[in-house]
Structures are given as C-alpha cells and as structure tokens.
C-alpha cells in the first residue's frame, strides 16, 4: 500500500512531511534540535502523522501552529504539547469558525488518492486546549536551534510564520506559496495580508518552506507577491469580493 505521507530531507535535521495525495498538497515540517523537536503544523488528519515523526526522531515534540485552519491542525490530536497564536486560541479550544460539513465538502471537493482506511464520515475537526500561547517576537528553543514567531495576520487573524535566523529559513504557512493565496473568507483581511508580506520581505531569507504545493520556490516570490498586492491596492481592489487575480506563478483570491 502506498504511504500517505512523503518525507523529504531539507537538511540533516529538518524534514518536510507532505500530503501529495490530496489536492491541497500540504507540507508540515519537523525540526530536530539538541534537546527537543518542533513540528510545524500537522496537516489534514487523514493519516497519523505521529507515526512518521516517531520514525524520524525520539526527541520530545512540540507542535507549533501556523494557523488554526482544518488542513493544518488535522493531526494535532496525536500530540499533547501544542502552541498557537493568542488570536486563534479560541478557534482551537472553544469553537472552530467553519462548520464541520463545510470542511468535509472542502476536503472532498476534488478527486484525491485517499488511503483505504480513511472514512470521511468519521472525520472530525480537532478541538483542544493549547499548552502554549504565542505572541509576535516569541522565541521557540530547540536547544541548539531557535525559531522566531512572526505574527502575519491576513489569511487568518492569528497566522504566524516561523523564522530560523541562523539558517535563514522562513516557514511561511499560507502567507507565501506557489498557488492561490486566499484572502476572501470573512475571517481574512486583504490589507493585513499585504502588510504581513511586507513584514517578511524585510527578513534575510535563504529558503522559503511553504505550507502548500511546490516545495522548492524562489525567495523572489515574496517581492512578486508584495508587488501584486501593491498593484491591486493602487486599483482599489483590496476588498473582499474583488475576485481572483492571476500573476506569473501565483494567484490572489480576494
């Protein structure tokens, strides 16, 4: 049977754990340090991601969440040390903002190569109490590695990117990737999205590690996305309902 997750080595102690069998093509990232490990997001929840992380490390793992959307918290149920930004704590612990049926419809809206043991009828959105609350500028320490929390709202109120200054990695979540950037939901904000892109543009970045689709993308995409938002702003289009706008290697849905 084909494995649901694909593991790709970014460097000796950083791994991408991907779900290429689903149309969302989600990426989670395992970062191993000297004392503990961090798992950035847990994917769709279609298969048990902890079996994968257990095969890669014996270190204790903290899950850090780019944002509390269903396709990023599906495997949170397998872990007992979870962190989210303060703006989305209640989404995780009190009430998810999207109805379960809408999530299931999104999950199944395109043909996918689901594993035979997956049953959409029993699919649930994770709800639980986080063990750590993030704020902008917080530091996550792995012993010999450190991540900086960068609050990048727009796609969602508590969306965060994670920046590793030493390696100059940007784990960009749903802020930067090669695909359709979504700022059309009621809980999104196109203007804040643009400001967040400008915020990460100021960082020294050698590699972007996105949450969806193509894993190897050029750092220059940040400037192109910022320019695209600027162009839309000049045309008065940064308002929800404006439509989908096509650019060279990405789209913006407002």
Q: What is the pLDDT of residues 124-179, one digit of tens each?
A: 999 999 999 999 999 999 999 999 999 999 999 999 999 999 999 999 999 999 99
Strand 61-64, strand 180-182: pairing: unpaired
Calculate the average pLDDT of the chain. 96
pLDDT digits (tens, 9 = 90+) for 89-101: 999 999 998 899 9
CA dist 34 and 13 (Å) reads: 10
CA dist 207 and 216 (Å) reads: 8
Residue 191 DSSP symbol = H
Residue 15 pairs with which residues in a beta bridge?
9, 30
Tokens of 78: 């397998």
Mean pLDDT of 110-125: 93
The answer, yes or no, to whether residue 1 has pLDDT greater than 70, is no
Q: Band the pLDDT of 84: cuts 50, 70, 90.
A: very high
pLDDT score at 2: 76
CA dist 246 and 44 (Å) reads: 27
Rounded to two decimals, the pTM is 0.97
Tokens of 182: 């979504």
Percentage above 90 pLDDT, the chain: 96
Q: List the one residue out of 160, 154, 156 whose CA is nearest residue 136.
A: 160
Sheet holding 244-246, edge to edge: 180-182, 251-253, 244-246
pLDDT score at 31: 98
**Sign of dihedral through CA atoms 59, 74, 200, 148?**
negative
pLDDT score at 228: 98
Mean pLDDT of 70-78: 97
Taken in order of first residue, the domains within the chain and their CATH numbers are 6-175+202-217 (3.60.15.10)
CA dist 193 and 214 (Å) reads: 21
Q: Band the pLDDT of 15: cuts 50, 70, 90.
A: very high
pLDDT score at 113: 87
pLDDT score at 134: 95
pLDDT score at 135: 97
């Amino acid at each position: 049977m084909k494995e649901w997750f694909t593991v790709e080595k970014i460097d000796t102690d950083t791994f991408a754990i991907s779900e290429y069998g689903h149309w969302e093509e989600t990426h989670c990232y395992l970062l191993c340090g000297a004392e503990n490990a961090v798992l950035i997001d847990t994917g769709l929840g279609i298969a048990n991601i902890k079996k994968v992380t257990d095969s890669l490390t014996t270190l204790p793992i903290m899950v850090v969440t780019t944002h509390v959307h269903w396709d990023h918290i599906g495997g949170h149920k397998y872990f007992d040390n979870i962190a989210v930004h303060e703006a989305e704590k209640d989404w995780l612990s009190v009430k998810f903002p999207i109805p379960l049926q809408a999530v299931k419809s999104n999950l199944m809206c395109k043909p996918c190569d689901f594993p035979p043991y997956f049953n959409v009828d029993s699919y649930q959105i994770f709800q639980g109490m986080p063990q750590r609350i993030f704020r902008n500028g917080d530091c996550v320490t792995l012993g010999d590695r450190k991540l900086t929390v960068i609050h990048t709202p727009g796609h969602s109120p508590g969306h965060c990117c994670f920046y590793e200054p030493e390696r100059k990695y940007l784990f960009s979540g749903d802020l930067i990737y090669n695909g359709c950037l979504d700022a059309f939901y009621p809980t999104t904000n196109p203007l804040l999205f643009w400001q967040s892109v400008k915020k990460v543009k100021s960082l020294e970045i050698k590699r972007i590690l996105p949450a969806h689709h193509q894993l190897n993308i050029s750092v220059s995409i940040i400037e192109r996305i910022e320019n695209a938002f600027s162009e839309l702003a000049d045309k008065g289009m940064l308002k929800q309902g404006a439509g989908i706008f096509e650019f060279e290697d990405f789209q913006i849905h407002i």
